[in-house]
Amino acid sequence: MAGHAEDADIIIAKNVNKWYGEFHALKNVSLTVKRREVVVIIGPSGSGKSTFIRTINRLEEHQSGDIVVDGIPLTRDVRNIEAIRMETGMVFQQFNLFPHLTVMQNITLAPIHVRKMKKQEAEARAMQLLERVGIPEQAQKYPGQLSGGQQQRVAIARALAMQPKIMLFDEPTSALDPEMIREVLEVMEELAESGMTMVVVTHEMGFAKGVADRIVFMDSGEIVEIGTPDHFFTNPQHDRTKLFLQQILK
């Protein structure tokens, strides 16, 4: 293992601030994620959860504060940004599969063109990943021919194909029909058990309770409270957390 890989902390965010014009979207957000840890971020809509997770791989640029991912400081340097993007996989609310490519091509595109993997090797690995997410028979179909749950599982396989050290999930089940949420959560649970470092923005409290090592509650661009699931759900400290929990657990 390389020197920095020994560090326990794989994501370090310190005093991260972001403005959209006048709007202060992230206010001094600081969070450290350890290797193999599963961190779930919850909070009301507009609280900055998605914005924060998207600053980690520079889909959003932050204006002040420091972010270090696996020892690589996130600067304006293109090489650093691309190195961090290769280390982090991302799963989106709207899946964002490439509709003009088959499932197989969706998964092998980045390994072939970014990691310069041989096509056959990439396809063999893609088949393994499709088996892992439970839909190997869909390999030659196009995204438009799959259900929402199947599409999101392909999106997870696509992110995993780059062999990332961290997986970021931005509300992965919010766009799904209720009967399909389960199949996606099961894949995520299996991934968490395998020891993947995960940062998950979600409204699935069941998943947060069962899988998270720590839960982060954000509101109005700030981290209000961080705690273990037990602590968080049974004994929240802040009034805002209590109010939020009351509203969703009614």
Partner 1 sequence: MTSSTLSTQRPPFYRDTRTIAIMLQVLFLLVVLLIGWFLYNNMVTRLAAGNTAAGGALSWGFLGQTAGFGISEGPTFRPEESYGRAYLVGVINTLRVGIVGVILATVLGLLAGIARVSNNWLLSKLAMVYVEIFRSTPLLVQLLFWYVGVIAALPPIQEAAPLGDLGYLTNRGMYLTWIFPSETGRALTWWLLGGVIVGVMVAWLRRRQLERAGVPGSGVMAGFAAFVLVLVIGFLVALGASQMPTTTTYELRRGDRGALFEDINGNGAFDLNVDRPLAYVPITLYGADGQVVASGMTNGDGAFRFIDLPAEATRLEWTTPAPLVVSEPQRQGFNFSGGISVTPEFAALLLALVVYTGAFIAEIVRAGINAVNKGQWEASRALGLSTGATLRMVVLPQALRVIIPPLTSQYLNLVKNSSLAIAVGYPDLFNVSRTIVNQTGAEVQGILLVMATYLTFSLITSLFMNWYNKRVALVER
Interface positions with partner 1 (CB under 8 A): 57, 59, 82, 85-86, 88-90, 92, 94, 96-100, 102, 105, 109-110, 113-114, 140, 142, 144-145, 155, 158-159, 162
* Smallest gap from residue 95 Cβ to partner 1 (A): 8
* Smallest gap from residue 99 Cβ to partner 1 (A): 5
* Smallest gap from residue 102 Cβ to partner 1 (A): 5
Q: Which is nearer to partner 1, 18 or 158 (CB)?
A: 158
Q: Which residue has the tokens 């899946």?
A: 95
- Contact at 8 Å (CB) between 156 and 91? yes
* Smallest gap from residue 89 Cβ to partner 1 (A): 8
Element (H, E) at 198: strand 197-201
Q: Which is nearer to partner 1, 38 or 97 (CB)?
A: 97
- Contact at 8 Å (CB) between 196 and 175? no
Q: DSSP assignment, residue 64?
A: E
Q: Which is nearer to partner 1, 99 or 206 (CB)?
A: 99
* Smallest gap from residue 81 Cβ to partner 1 (A): 9
- Contact at 8 Å (CB) between 85 and 79? no
Element (H, E) at 160: helix 148-160
DSSP code per residue over 222-249? EEEEEE-HHHHHHS--SHHHHHHHHHH-
Q: Which is nearer to partner 1, 147 or 237 (CB)?
A: 147
At 157, which amino acid appears?
A: A
Q: Which is nearer to partner 1, 139 or 208 (CB)?
A: 139
- Contact at 8 Å (CB) between 18 and 178? no
